Structure 1
Amino acid sequence: MRLHRLEITAFGPYARREVVDFDALGADGLFLLHGDTGAGKTTLLDAVAFALFGAVPGARGQVKRLRCDIADNDTATEVALELSVQGHRLRLVRSPEYQRPKRRGDGFTTQQATASLTWLGEVPHGQAAEGITRIDEVSRTVQRLLGMNAEQFFQVVLLPQGEFARFLRADTTEREQLLERLFGTQRFADAERWFRELRTARGRELDRRRQSVREWLARLAQAAREEPPEDAGSEWALALRRRAAEAVAAAREEEQLASAARERAEATLQERRTAEERVRRVRAARQRIAALAEQADERARWAAELASARRAVTVTGPAAEADRQNERFERARAAEATAREALLSTGFAEPDSPVAVLRERAGSLREEAGALAGLVAEAEQQERDRKRLRDLVETATYATAQATALGEKLQGLPERARELRLQREQAAAAEVRLDGVRTRESDLVDALSAAKEIPRLERAVTEAVRLEQEATDAYHTSRTVLLDLRERRLAGMAAELATRLGEGEPCPVCGSAEHPAPATATSDPVGEADEAAAAERERAAEQHRAATLTARHQAESKLAAVRERLEGRTAEELTDALATVRTELAQLTTLAEGKARLDASVQAVEAEYAELTAQRAEAERSAGVAEEQRRTLAQRVEERERRLDVARGRFADVGERREHLVAVVGALDALAEARTVRATEKERLDEQLTAVRDAVRRAGFDTVEEALAAARTDARVADLERALADAEAEEKAARAVLAEPELAAVSPDDEVDTEPARLAAEEARTRAESAVATLRAATQRAEEVDGLAERFAAALAELAPAEEEFAELDALTDVVNGRGQNSRRMSLRSYVLAARLEEVAVAATARLRSMSQGRYSFVHSDAAGSRGTRGGLGLDVLDDYSGAVRPAKTLSGGESFLASLSLALGLADVVAAETGGALLDTLFVDEGFGTLDGQTLDVVMDVLDELRAGGRVVGLVSHVEELRQRIPTRLRIRKSRAGSTIELEGGMTAA
């Protein structure tokens, strides 16, 4: 990849269009970007990054404020870059998203981001000749051509020395995060996670199987009503099944015996109950016949009453209808009187006229009322129009007042909008600074916590030293006791051998079978057991001493690590610094928290201004329209009023006159109808009274009152019929019982005792039911035990292979994730990153040895960290002067710059080779040269000269004066109130 031309407009500190011709600037292969602090040197590198990827590196990319604040409102922010990559020349043009003032009115509008890619020369295969204009497609095409993403490009082409200085001093976790972003080892992390997730899933499955075995065991024990032994297995389950089957056989035999006894007892009881029932039936039949004989006279009276009631039925119906007809006649006569009074109340003078006259007069008045219907509608419209006139006057007055009030509100809004925008900019600046201040606060909190731990750690070291000394003394004491016992045992070895001699047995020393004078033991002999016990105490003391030694080393290491981290700062200093940072953080947080509210307030003010303007215009229009409508409507109202005055006559209005006519017509019609109904009802009443007199004569009664007295209700008639029928049926049933053959020999005086048989039957039934329940429970228990035993055996059979498989998977997962049998404590991802870091260390060492004149080399270590932490990403420096390997933190400022630059160049080579990206012909090194002396700067320049071998262009960003003397081609950046400008020194002037 080679850069040719960069054009920037209204970008960063550059208010106008500035051009950088990289072909002229890099003609010698090495050029310098220099200028005052804040002039915009690093902004040129940001512009290159933005043109390629639409983003800028580091913390600057998080702010997203790329537009020049002092640029003209009509000047668009834009970056254009021409470059060659993989044999193709192309031009990239990008504009960021930013806020610009509206062209009409006050306020701001969002200028959307744009991007385009144009091919200059031959178009690659598969690409459109007209280029690309979609932002995402432009980014994907650039990334595919370069072979690396934005993060990798920022680390490989735009070498940020500050970040690599931190990389040198970083711990394993921080170093791992950077390397992971550059080398894309996510797939190895996915593999680690896959193993962990698989182990978790298989572990849950194994737990489920174990729980299943425990559950089946518990259910089997519960079903068998036995406590399971500790080693319960298949043998115990078989024994349970055998005992359950034996219990079923015993219960079945008992059930058969109890069932036979119950059948015999129930047969005897049934015979006794049958005899008792026959005696009871005979007694009951004779008693019922006697009772019916005593009721003969009463039943005769019931029969006579029933006959009279049946004859009276033919009279009660017509009599009731006559009463109802009389009520209807009276209602018709009252209605006629009411209608006559109603007609008189309307002022009609002839209420007693015939029906025909009344109907004729109602017809003529109805026609007169119909003629007034149209004028009534006009009168109603007249009232609505009068109300409309009043509403129009109010509308015009209100709209005029509203337009005046809205004009007053609009006067103060522009100034308020400007104040809110200023407050919003202050809140945005505070929001940008928050992350840095929070990071400082977090670092100070951690450091203060560590400082507070120092007294405890010092006490721990003192205690560990004391315990180590005590353990050492105990070890020496036990060692002395062991040596003394061994010496005494050797001295009494002959006596020990003599105790083992037997009569006639050969001596193990001389072979003789005779033992005339065996040696005797001393008063305090030492045996083998005594020596073994002393040796065991000596070994335990040695282990305890080693453990205390390890504990002391760990305590001292923890204390040293904390002191190194604090870098000499005390807890009081850290507390003061933390208080200052927290005060600053509180102030910034208060400002930043108001940004969203201020954004909303600015938008609300702008929206309110637009809305009030529109409302004022609408109010003025409404006032004019209302006044015009009022004039037109007033003319129509005046004309209609003249017609209505003639039509209403002596009444208040036309509607009242028409309502009066309608009321008179209604009263006339009602009176005519009431007189007609009254005459009809009178005729019907006379007819019904004649029908009643005929019915009384036919029923055999003298008067209507006599017939009505004999009448009975339907319920009483039904009761009489039912009582007579029931008495007759009972007598027949009682005599039929006495006539049954099986009761012929039964006397009502016979006595039968069933109690003994009943007691015997209940006892037999209780025994049988208990036996059946016992058999059922034993059978159910046996079936349940059989089923659960089979399930238990199946669960045991499934558990064994699952446990073996999980043990293998668990060990493998620990190894892949840097635990268990993994002695280096390195995960798979860390192992891959360690290999990449080793390549980086080799590549960086070649340049570091050259820059340090053979003194320093990078040393990569894959050993585990202290206290068992992860290893594999250790990076130290070998000093050939002393032959010692020391931490990179011990390097001086200039040495750190050399190491950082070497590491950055080495990482650039490895990443470029790893990603398979395009050849990088352009490289930028940003700052850091001010820490070098003259001799070291010569060496560094020699290395940079080597970098431009083969046509590579190297750009240095620095304000070091000596570099201006060494590098003839320079790009000077001047800072002013009107914006920064670019000037090419030692070559062609920039366009």
Structure 2
Amino acid sequence: MKPIRLDMKYFGPFEDESIDFSSIKDSMFLISGRTGSGKTMIFDAITYALYGTLSTSDRMEGSVRSQFATDSDISRVKLTFEIRGSQYTVERTLSYQKEGRKTPVPPKAAIYDQEGEVLEGSINGVKEKVLGIIGLDADQFRQILILPQGEFKRLLVSSSESKQEILRTLFRTERFVHFEMRLNELKKEKLKSIELVESRVEELFSTLSANGDAELQKLIDAEYPTAAKRIEVIEEIGTTLGNRYRMLEEALQKLKQEATSLRETISRRERHNEQALKLASTKQELKDHEENAASIERLETAVRQYRKVKTVEYELRSEQDLIKQKEELETRLNTIDTGLKELETSGEALRQTLDKISRYREGYTKLVKWINSTERFVEDPRFRDMDGVLQSKMKERQNLASDIKAQEAKLAEVRQEDDSIHWEHAESEILRNELSASVAECRKMREWIERENKSAGYDGKKQTLEKEITELRKKMEDTETAIKKIQEDTGSMYSPEDKVHIEHLAGHLKKDGECPVCRQTVSVLPVARDYMSEEDEAELRALETKKQECGNALETAEKNLGIVDGILGSMERYDTEKLEKELEAEERHQNEVRKKIDDNHKRYDRKKQLDEEMRRLESSISDNRIRMNNAENAVEQQKSLKKEFSEQTQFETCEEFQREFQARQQKVSRYEKQQEEAEQERQRYREEKSRLEENRAAARRQLSEMSGQLEENTRVIDDFLKDNEFAGRNVLFSILKNTDVNEDEERIRAYHTQKDILKSRINDLESVLESTEEIPVEEDREKLSVLDKEIETKTNDNARLYARMQHNGNIKEKISDFAEKHEAELGEVDELVELVNAVSGKNEQKVSLERFVLTYYLDRILHIANIRLLEMTSHRYELRRSTGKSNRKTGLDIEVFDFYNNRARHISSLSGGETFQASLTLALALNEALQQESGGISLDTMLIDEGFGTLDPETLDMAISTLIELQTSGKMVGIISHVEELKERMENILEVKAVNERSTANFK
């Protein structure tokens, strides 16, 4: 990710500022400016645009809204950045509390692609989109791409637990912790499953049935170590119960055979007794049935009469209906004749009404013609308030003329004042240049004073070093004198440590013998030897150590003195008192120029206001003249409309015309309505007359046909009465009223059918019975009952035994299935427990999976960091992961190995400059390691806030060279620092200036 352009509006000290990074996107640059000018705010703006948070975790969003922003001003940050060849723009507005509003104005966010298309427009949507594009969250971005002031050395000096959280977040190793937790949960689930299986097996075994056998019950109640042993016991119980079941089954079969034979005998005897009883009953039923013979004969006579009269039923009912219809038809003919006479009377009145309407036809036509010619004046809204509109337009014309006169007078006054104000652009430009030159001169004087103060500090440091060197040389001379004195006092004495070796060698020397060391002939044996006392030797060693320490300190002091002399030799010296007087005079001059500029600005602002006022008045006069011209045209139009109205309608006012128009329109409507009603009435008259005449003709035809049909029916009925002995038509109708004929016929048939059935049944029973006497069966039934009860008891016993055997068999199958599953799961659990122990650190190395991964990443980061750190510290320091024992689980402590002393030191023992070196190399290594690990993350930028002020010139040069090397690999490197030497080394400087609490930023 590389920033291309940053826009800030009311953000921190920036009112409306844009910074273009496109020209230095592959370079290193310095952000320079005095303390409090807003340098760090640039990093805050970049971080806030991307993530909605600031570059340091201890600052809140509300702290960066500009203090000079009003309630109507919106604080906004807009960042265009490039990543993997694509450009994106993200824009955010800050939340702030508006006066008079209970709740804060909410923040907003949006992200666009290179073509300006909106990718996301919500706070959460932008957050997710940025995370997807960059691949880092806010904490990772601050830790890797931005090294904030105060958090620069966080990774180096943090505790082991803090490093774990940092590295866990950056390298996402929490997945290994989740993996360990999931394995533990899986282990618990598996162990619980095994316990459930064992519990279920025991529960199933306890439900075995012994069928009341005490010995078998003892087998069930006993304890068994394995499921296989339980299965053997189940098989033994099953064998015993199976033998008992077969014995019960054989006894039951014998009882069933005996009961079957007895049941057949009883069945035969019961059938005989049943048939004898049925024969007697049937004979009595036949006798009772024949007692109804007389009533059946009467029914047969009535049915025959009904069937005979039924043959003329149609003629009888037709004759009756035709007589009634003939009477109704004659009455209808009389009603139609009466209606025709009344219709002729109403027709005469209708003809008189039509004659009256035709007489008014000519007046109606004239009214319609007038209405059609004047109707447009009613519908057109322009004629409704002609006089009112005309008066309004005339008054508007008068008011506009008055306004134009007043505005022209005001314009003359403004022009007069504008001509009296003197302002020239050249004069303002001269004053601005003079002020800029004065500011530059003041800044240069302050820099000279600051440099001289710094040089004075080096003077003091030089005096201190010279004094220190003098003292060290004196101390070293005194030490050398003391050493010489001891050496002179002890002479040729040997040290106590050499005594053993010398005496041992002397013991092997013999006169004229060979020396065991040099192999030469010994001519003279050594005399008695003197040795130094332990006190003399200790004093001599202490003095030599003191001499060495003084020498080292002297060498360091002389080296530092040489550095200070070099710095002082390269510095230009100034007269501070003279510079301060000149600065005071220049500042006075600067204030005078500023006052002139302010006066000039006031004249310019007033002249600008007057010019704006003149433009506004001229524009207003022009607009009013246009409106006045429009008003005059409107007056003429209204007069023309009024003239046209009067000529066409012959009325002066629209109200009189509309009243007359409505009155005439109502007359026309009444005439049209009367005409329409008369025509409708005439049509109804014609239709009614035609209908009555048609109905009269149809009724006469129907009456003629009905009379002929009535004569024919009367003849048929009279012939039937003559042939049969019935006393008139009323008797025939009474016979036809019998509606139960079908039921009577059914009773007759049923009587004869039942009689024949009973006779046939008696004949059948008499043919099969040998005897009509009943045979006794009670004794056989009692025997059968005893047998059935015994069979039922044995059947239930056998069924219960079989059910228990089946139950035991099912339990055996279930326990067998559980045993197989149990054995398989035990093997899985053993493997799972072994895996859990390895992942969680319960192993020989006592290292968990996450700890192993974290130490791998830390070792890798330290390896990369040491390549630069060794070079920057002249191969003195190397960062190492502490391998000492610790009660903490993570083991991620860092220590520094000092090759000069050949021992490890705690990281806190480093000086400020050394700590910065280690922190910088560690941060660069972390950046590289993370980019190597996450191929999709593009880490093309590094922004560093402060830290270089603790470095000496040589180390500063090494740190800058390291960053330049990093920049040449394609990274953008930005640095915030007050170190003057950096300005001299940097080609690109983003200078942040603050004037009246408002800052600007420009590359120079």
1:179 CA displacement: 1.5
Share of identical aligned residues, percent?
17
Deviations 1:394-424 (A, max 9, x none): 999xxxxxxxxxxxxxxxxxxxxxxxxxxxx
Q: Which segments of 5 or more consecutive residues in structure 2 lack a partner in the other structure?
A: 95-105, 121-126, 355-367, 369-374, 383-657
- CA RMSD, 1 decimal: 6.4
Secondary structure of 2:990's counterpart equals strand
Matches within 5 A, 1:409-428: none
- Distance between the aligned counterparts of 2:902 and 2:859, measured in 1? 23
1:252 aligns with 2:249: yes
Deviations 1:129-170 (A, max 9, x none): xxx99989xx99x99999999976754443235445555676
Residue 742 of structure 2: which of 702, 708, 714 is its match? 714
Matches within 5 A, 1:404-803: 649=674, 658=683, 662=687, 677=702, 680-681=705-706, 683-696=708-721, 701-707=726-732, 711=738, 712-738=740-766, 740-743=767-770, 745-746=771-772, 750-803=773-826
Q: Which amino acid aligns with 1:348?
A: E
Report the equivalent of 1:587: none
Report the equivalent of 2:16: 15
Report the equivalent of 2:240: 243
- Distance between the aligned counterparts of 1:338 and 1:238, measured in 2? 109
1:833 aligns with 2:854: yes
Residue 89 of structure 2: which of 90, 95, 106 is its match? 95
Do the aligned partners of residues 113 and 789 (structure 1) sit closer, same or farther apart at CA in structure 2, a change above 3 Å counting?
closer
- Distance between the aligned counterparts of 2:798 and 2:82, measured in 1? 98
Matches within 5 A, 1:804-823: 804-816=827-839, 818=840, 820-821=842-843
Secondary structure of 2:38's counterpart equals coil
Do the aligned partners of residues 949 and 40 (structure 1) sit closer, same or farther apart at CA in structure 2, a change above 3 Å counting?
closer
1:269 CA displacement: 1.7
Do the aligned partners of residues 220 and 873 (structure 1) sit closer, same or farther apart at CA in structure 2, a change above 3 Å counting?
farther
Report the equivalent of 2:923: 904
Report the equivalent of 1:178: 166
1:206 CA displacement: 5.2
Asked whether the equivalents of residues 9 and 18 of structure 1 are also in contact (C-alpha less than 8 Å), the reply is yes
Asked whether the equivalents of residues 30 and 976 of structure 2 are also in contact (C-alpha less than 8 Å), the reply is no
Matches within 5 A, 1:844-855: none
Deviations 1:879-934 (A, max 9, x none): 9999998797x99999987775564344335435555799999743113567x5xx
Do the aligned partners of residues 676 and 644 (structure 1) sit closer, same or farther apart at CA in structure 2, a change above 3 Å counting?
farther
Report the equivalent of 2:1000: 981
Do the aligned partners of residues 814 and 642 (structure 1) sit closer, same or farther apart at CA in structure 2, a change above 3 Å counting?
farther
Deviations 1:30-78 (A, max 9, x none): 7453345363545268659989x999967799989999999999x9987
Secondary structure of 1:96's counterpart equals strand
Matches within 5 A, 1:70-109: 93-97=87-91
Do the aligned partners of residues 93 and 276 (structure 1) sit closer, same or farther apart at CA in structure 2, a change above 3 Å counting?
closer
Asked whether the equivalents of residues 881 and 894 of structure 2 are also in contact (C-alpha less than 8 Å), the reply is yes
- Distance between the aligned counterparts of 1:720 and 1:848, measured in 2? 134
Q: Which amino acid aligns with 1:742?
A: L
- Distance between the aligned counterparts of 1:823 and 1:346, measured in 2? 130
- Distance between the aligned counterparts of 1:256 and 1:349, measured in 2? 109
Secondary structure of 1:95's counterpart equals strand
Asked whether the equivalents of residues 855 and 881 of structure 1 are also in contact (C-alpha less than 8 Å), the reply is no
Do the aligned partners of residues 184 and 691 (structure 1) sit closer, same or farther apart at CA in structure 2, a change above 3 Å counting?
same
Report the equivalent of 2:944: 925
1:974 CA displacement: 1.9
Matches within 5 A, 1:118-267: 155-163=143-151, 167=155, 175-185=163-173, 188=176, 192=180, 195=183, 199=187, 213=201, 217=205, 229-231=222-224, 233-267=230-264
1:273 aligns with 2:270: yes
- Distance between the aligned counterparts of 1:179 and 1:910, measured in 2? 11
Do the aligned partners of residues 769 and 855 (structure 1) sit closer, same or farther apart at CA in structure 2, a change above 3 Å counting?
same
- Distance between the aligned counterparts of 1:676 and 1:891, measured in 2? 141
Asked whether the equivalents of residues 319 and 714 of structure 2 are also in contact (C-alpha less than 8 Å), the reply is no
1:695 CA displacement: 4.3
Asked whether the equivalents of residues 161 and 890 of structure 2 are also in contact (C-alpha less than 8 Å), the reply is no
- Please report the TM-score for the alignment, with normalisation by the length of structure 2: 0.52
1:326 aligns with 2:320: yes
Q: Which segments of 5 or more consecutive residues in structure 1 lack a partner in the other structure?
A: 101-107, 118-131, 352-360, 369-381, 383-388, 397-632
1:972 CA displacement: 1.4
- Distance between the aligned counterparts of 1:899 and 1:878, measured in 2? 12
Do the aligned partners of residues 256 and 839 (structure 1) sit closer, same or farther apart at CA in structure 2, a change above 3 Å counting?
same
- Distance between the aligned counterparts of 2:763 and 2:298, measured in 1? 27
1:303 CA displacement: 2.0
Asked whether the equivalents of residues 285 and 734 of structure 1 are also in contact (C-alpha less than 8 Å), the reply is yes
Do the aligned partners of residues 164 and 338 (structure 1) sit closer, same or farther apart at CA in structure 2, a change above 3 Å counting?
farther
- Please report the TM-score for the alignment, with normalisation by the length of structure 1: 0.52
Secondary structure of 2:853's counterpart equals helix
- Distance between the aligned counterparts of 1:301 and 1:319, measured in 2? 27
Deviations 1:82-103 (A, max 9, x none): 99x9xxxx7x654334689xxx
Asked whether the equivalents of residues 152 and 911 of structure 1 are also in contact (C-alpha less than 8 Å), the reply is no
Secondary structure of 1:972's counterpart equals strand
Q: Which amino acid aligns with 1:718?
A: E
Deviations 1:829-850 (A, max 9, x none): 3320122224445666788899
1:973 CA displacement: 1.0
Do the aligned partners of residues 218 and 335 (structure 1) sit closer, same or farther apart at CA in structure 2, a change above 3 Å counting?
farther
- Distance between the aligned counterparts of 2:976 and 2:823, measured in 1? 70
Q: Which amino acid aligns with 1:245?
A: G
Residue 991 of structure 2: which of 968, 972, 989 is its match? 972
Secondary structure of 1:971's counterpart equals strand
- Distance between the aligned counterparts of 1:180 and 1:395, measured in 2? 82
Secondary structure of 1:871's counterpart equals coil
Report the equivalent of 2:962: 947
Q: Which amino acid aligns with 1:43?
A: I
Q: Which amino acid aligns with 1:159?
A: L
- Distance between the aligned counterparts of 2:791 and 2:980, measured in 1? 119
- Distance between the aligned counterparts of 1:350 and 1:167, measured in 2? 124
- Distance between the aligned counterparts of 1:724 and 1:291, measured in 2? 13
Q: Which amino acid aligns with 1:726?
A: Q
- Distance between the aligned counterparts of 1:109 and 1:395, measured in 2? 53
Asked whether the equivalents of residues 36 and 975 of structure 1 are also in contact (C-alpha less than 8 Å), the reply is no
Q: Which amino acid aligns with 1:15?
A: D
